[in-house]
Amino acid sequence: GKRFKRSSNLQEHRRIHSGERPFRCPRCAKSFKTPYELQRHALTHCAEKPFKCADCGKDFPTSNALLLHQRQHCDDKPHVCGVCGKKFTYGHSLKVHERVHTGDRPFICPLCGKGFKQSNALSSHERVHTGERPFVCKTCGKAFKQSSYLVIHERAHTGERPYKCEVCGKAFARPSLLLQHHRVHSQER
């Protein structure tokens, strides 16, 4: 096993395996394993984001957050999967990816025993048991178990349709609707 000089470091490490996220954001109810992660997340709520990515235009609250983001745009992906050859910018991303090949599911739900490849998937699953819906639409107040469901829902208010058909140009709010639409064109042939 891994050794730690401080008991607090051991506690943090144990949360990797348990999926426990005791540090909750008071603004959006998202939870984190460490106070540092919560502090870093809190910056996303800052109105001021003076650091802009030159490649995609996304804004960031700190220069460090911008630097981390910019690594996604560069071709430097030194972490390579030994099984399929897929390349990753971060070692952690490779580690998570490797579970696709090994089938390893180290994050176990204490209530039903179901295993997950990532701790955030466990956190999301636990809401099935608790009924918690921490992601709330600011426009209508509807609440969701997952942030991705909220993002899709908000498109009903904004009219955003980011998934565009290459054949006819029709756009959709969800990728599943675009996929369903593609069948129309495949039946035409």
Residue 29 to residue 136: CA distance in whole angstroms: 10
What is the rounded distance in angstroms from the CA atom of residue 109 to the CA atom of residue 19? 8
H, E, C per residue of 52-104: ECCCCCCEECCHHHHHHHHCCCCCCCCEECCCCCCEECCHHHHHHHHHHHHCC
- How much of the chain, in percent, has pLDDT values that exceed 90? 28
Q: Which amino acid belongs to residue 13?
A: H
Take residue 112 and report the two structure tokens written for it.
């039903």
Taking only the tens place, the pLDDT of each residue in 30-50 is: 788 788 888 878 877 766 778
Q: CA-to-CA distance for 176 and 66, rounded, in angstroms?
A: 31
What CATH topology corresponds to 76-132?
Answer: Double Stranded RNA Binding Domain (3.30.160)
Q: Which of 149, 121, 119 is nearest to 136 (CA)?
A: 149
Q: Which one is predicted more confidently, 187 or 81? A: 81
pLDDT of 189 strictly over 70: no
Enclosing H/E stretch for 188: helix 175-188
- How high is the pLDDT of residue 123? 83
- Sign, CA torsion 177/183/186/187: negative
Considering only the top CATH level, what class is 160-188? alpha beta
Residue spans in the chain of domains classed CATH 3.30.160.60: 76-132, 160-188
Query: pTM of the predicted model, to two decimals?
Result: 0.50
Q: 78-113 burial, b for 16+ CB within 10 Å, e for fewer?
A: eeeeeeeeeebbeeeebeebbeeeeeeeebebeeee
Nearest to 84 by CA among 72, 99, 96, 101: 101
Query: Is it the case that residue 17 has pLDDT exceeding 80?
Result: no
pLDDT in tens, 82-137: 999 999 888 888 999 999 999 999 989 989 999 999 888 888 888 889 888 888 89
